[in-house]
Amino acid sequence: MSKSLVVVPYDRARHESALIQLTERVLGVDAAARRQSVLDSFHDRMPGRDRTPLRHVVLDGDRAAGTLGYMPADFLVKGERVPTRFTHDLFVDPAYALAGHRTLGKGLGTVLVENARGLGGFLPGGMWMTDSCHKIHLASGFDDVSRLTTYTTVLDPAAFSLRRGFSSLKGHVSRVGLGVARAVALTHARRRVERDGALLRAVDRFDAALDPEWMALARTYSMTRVRDAAYLNWKYRDHPALDYRALLVSRNGRPTGYVVWRPAPAGAVETRAVIADFLVEKGDASTLQLLAARVMLDAAAQGIDSVAVLTTQAWAAGALRALGFFPSRTRNAWVIAGWRDLIPADWLRTHEPWHVCLGDSDGDIWTGAM
């Protein structure tokens, strides 16, 4: 370990080997390979990958000691398109935990996040962070936003209770109560799908010709990321490992919404399905319920124990709860920076202006890869 550590923009040709060696040292060869397949998709296919740097690395000579990545995105802020970056993938070799303090005066995680903050611009996340990562972002000048809530509907009470590690008595009570709730929820879901006259279909890929329709729906929210075909196909349909699926609803010949979901990955610890992304007009509970109901029925048919979804909209939470979704007791941290010239301060205290999905930022795409 040298006495000199430097933070430099990531150059794939020069630094990829050192970055792979870093992850192999910390995670092992197999996990590093799975992780690298996701990183390769960033550099090979991600929209906006020309907005360099896509990450920074801390170097100790030719050895990588830590790294922080960025995901370029476009947001709609009060109707205006704004280029942004998500911070993601803060990763530091534990062997260098003290080295940063000795050579740079602070931990390497703090050095990397402060460096990201210093690049300027709007940074809409930080999401799905560990407690230590959350604290580092706050110490580096990011601000907390109201915490994010995930909603879950249980499709297999026995498997769900076992996964949650309930005691024998609590597990029995839980299975009985959740069994009743499941029956009611699936009955409502079937009726919702059977009685709705809209066209609901699975799509293999998102068509760029529909981008204006998605943009019009996005503009009904004060703040959300741009969700176009280039982004949706890269993020979900072309994911190297996860089986993301897409459903689209049309009414009177016009698309009124979509959902992207995935089943639990084969062989992974996680056994729930996840609704990673959805877009409907603000307040369109009918289309959202139709999409969620179809996901519930498809997931139940595959023996999946539960479905999870995130929403920041009170009307959407109400629509989901009518289908049997309940809010998680845990709250996910969310931080932003560079917002003061774009949005009022009260937008940090309420979710009402925002449309945020579980798949925003990078959280879900690492499932099964770490």
| Residue-level pLDDT at 270 | 66
Q: Across 73-82, 262-271, 297-306, which has the greatest mean pLDDT?
A: 73-82
Q: Measure Cα distances from 179 to 65, 236, 320 in Å.
A: 49, 32, 18
- Crossing angle of helices 131-139 and 108-118, in 10° steps, is 50
Domain spanning 6-144: which superfamily? Gcn5-related N-acetyltransferase (GNAT) (3.40.630.30)
| Residue-level pLDDT at 165 | 52
Q: Could you check whether the bond before residue 126 is cis, i.e. omega within 30 degrees of 0?
A: yes
CB 203 within 8 A of CB 248: yes
Instruction: Supply the DSSP string of 34-84, one letter for each residue.
Output: HHHHHHHHHHHH-TTTTSS-SEEEEEETTEEEEEEEEEEEEEEETTEEEEE
What mean pLDDT is predicted for residues 286-306? 93
CA-CA distance, 368 to 251, in Å (whole number)? 36
The burial of 138, by beta-carbon neighbours within 10 Å (0-12 exposed, 13-18 middle, 19 or more buried), is given as middle
Which part of the chain is CATH 3.40.630.30? Answer: 6-144, 150-330
CB 162 within 8 A of CB 344: no
Mean pLDDT of the chain: 88
Q: How many residues are listed for the chain in this entry?
A: 370
CB 81 within 8 A of CB 226: yes
pLDDT in tens, 323-340: 999 998 777 888 999 999
| Residue-level pLDDT at 1 | 52
What mean pLDDT is predicted for residues 307-333? 91
Q: Measure Cα distances from 4 to 60, 98, 166, 354 in Å.
A: 7, 13, 50, 43
Range from 79-93, 117-131, 236-250 carrying the lowest mean pLDDT: 117-131
| Residue-level pLDDT at 331 | 74
pLDDT in tens, 40-70: 999 999 999 999 999 999 999 999 999 999 9
What mean pLDDT is predicted for residues 229-234? 97
CA-CA distance, 351 to 342, in Å (whole number)? 16
| Residue-level pLDDT at 3 | 61
Single pTM value for the model: 0.90
The burial of 298, by beta-carbon neighbours within 10 Å (0-12 exposed, 13-18 middle, 19 or more buried), is given as middle
What mean pLDDT is predicted for residues 105-118? 90
Fold classified for 150-330: Aminopeptidase (3.40.630)
Q: Identify the helix (H) or strand (E) that includes residue 335.
A: strand 335-336
Could you tell me the pLDDT band of residue 370, with boundaries at 50, 70 and 90? low
Query: Who wins on pLDDT, 135 or 184?
Result: 135
Using DSSP's 3-state secondary structure scheme, residue 274 falls into: strand
Residues paired with 201 in a beta bridge: 248
| Residue-level pLDDT at 173 | 38
